[in-house]
Amino acid sequence: MLTVAFAIFGTNTAFAHEGRDVGDYNFVVGFINEPAIEGMINGVSIRVTSLDEDEHGDHGHDSHGDGIAMGISDEIDLVSHGEVFVDELAAGGHYEFTFTHDFEDLTVPFHAHPIEMQGSIMVGDHNPTAEEVVIEIHENGFQPAMAMIQVGTTVRFMNMTSDATVVMSGPLGEVETSMRDDSGHSSSKAVSGLTSLQVEVSHVASSVSQVMQLKEAWGDAGHYKSEFIPTSPGPYKFRFFGEIHDQQIDESFESSNTTFDEVKPANDVQFPIQLAAPRETENAARGALDTANEASVDATDAANSASTATLLGVVALILGALGLVLGGLAFQRSGKKA
């Protein structure tokens, strides 16, 4: 199976998950809940599926070449994000894809970011005849959200929003763990029962990291999770290491605008009152404590200085008195000699 084309450089849109082939397996990685919010329970999510060797052929095409059309084999992957087509559309831009005989009698789901809406294209002989069908992308969804076309029809996606938009094949949300061909055979198998695979979670800005154990989700074969609460916003890195069926694994995924979501500050989604984040409260308390400690040290130093000055004054008085006494004695002796 071809690698899912999630990275479209030059866009400010982050995808929900990042997919990548790692040796004999495909990893789909992201946060358990997205968008990921600072201070809310979340964690690492990874789906592990095995790859069949006969899935690497391709004979599909994008007749217009404006975007990235993924190779299409006899077993068309309609589930993985961007496996059939994916492209970034500037405001007012468009992307075209022609549906060949490979798609006959299939329904192709598609979605777009950042509007987070889904649509579908049904390909069949009994559908209306048209050389081209236009699907407009608006802030509130697609128009139309469902298109019925025949083989050979070109679908033109038009970005009617004011921002750059990424349109791609596949359903909105997480990638499924298995796809099946027309005969019902599995073309991608979930890898379950892994116990040696671990994840090192790092907060990129602070370089703080911790190794966490992955546990397979109940009733969801091949889906592994490790829960934690992200307490600082920004990008995170997930490094997976260990062994899968005698294959050594050491692969890193980092959140960014072109992969999966970064952690957003909590006050970005708070309403109607924005509360201080725990880290801000802790930092303020730590700052106040440091200031108080510094003031205490300064006061102690001042008190010590005052005590030292007083002691020196007393010593000076004693020495002065002693000098007077010695001077008087010396004067008396000199008088007697005279």
Q: Are residues 249 and 285 in the same domain?
A: no
Which range among 22-36, 61-75, 187-201 shows the weakest confidence by mean pLDDT? 61-75
pTM as predicted: 0.48
Q: Are residues 194 and 260 in the same domain?
A: yes
* Contact status, residue 37 vs residue 233, Cβ threshold 8 Å: no
- Per-residue pLDDT band at 53 (split at 50, 70, 90): low
Concatenate the DSSP letters of all residues of 192-239 into one string.
----S-EEEEEETTTTEEEEEE-EEPTT-TTEEEEEE---S-B-EEEE
What CATH number does the domain containing 44 carry?
A: 2.60.40.3340
**23 inside domain:** yes
Q: Are residues 214 and 284 in the same domain?
A: no
Q: Are residues 319 and 269 in the same domain?
A: no
Q: Are residues 252 and 289 in the same domain?
A: no
Q: Which of 233, 251, 275 is the last residue of a domain?
A: 275
Q: Are residues 316 and 246 in the same domain?
A: no
Domain that holds residue 297: 278-338
- Token output for 63: 């007749």
Q: Are residues 290 and 321 in the same domain?
A: yes
If one counts the domains in the chain, the total is 2
Between 205 and 1, the more confident residue is 205
Q: Are residues 270 and 289 in the same domain?
A: no
Which range among 81-90, 126-135, 137-146, 319-328 shows the weakest confidence by mean pLDDT? 319-328
- Per-residue pLDDT band at 218 (split at 50, 70, 90): confident
Q: What is the pLDDT of residue 333?
A: 67
**110 inside domain:** no
Q: Are residues 248 and 270 in the same domain?
A: yes
* Contact status, residue 47 vs residue 190, Cβ threshold 8 Å: yes
CA distances from 1 to 29, 121, 182 (A): 17, 22, 16
| pLDDT tens figures, 252-279 | 999 988 888 899 998 888 888 877 666 6
Q: Are residues 15 and 48 in the same domain?
A: yes
Q: Which of 275, 295, 314 is the last residue of a domain?
A: 275
**298 inside domain:** yes
* Contact status, residue 26 vs residue 20, Cβ threshold 8 Å: yes
Sort strands 154-159 and 132-138 into parallel, antiparallel or unpaired.
Answer: parallel
Q: Which of 254, 275, 296 is the last residue of a domain?
A: 275
Q: Are residues 235 and 216 in the same domain?
A: yes
Q: What is the pLDDT of residue 262?
A: 92
**115 inside domain:** no
Mean pLDDT over each residue of the chain, to the nearest integer: 79
Closest CA relative to residue 51, chosen from 81, 29, 31, 75: 75
**286 inside domain:** yes
**32 inside domain:** yes
Between 312 and 178, the more confident residue is 312
Q: Are residues 261 and 199 in the same domain?
A: yes
- Token output for 268: 């970005």
- Per-residue pLDDT band at 326 (split at 50, 70, 90): confident
Q: Does the pLDDT of residue 336 top 80, yes or no?
A: no
CA–CA dist 40, 34 (Å, integer): 11
Q: What is the pLDDT of residue 248?
A: 95
- Per-residue pLDDT band at 122 (split at 50, 70, 90): very high
**311 inside domain:** yes
**38 inside domain:** yes
Beta bridge partners of 224: 46, 216
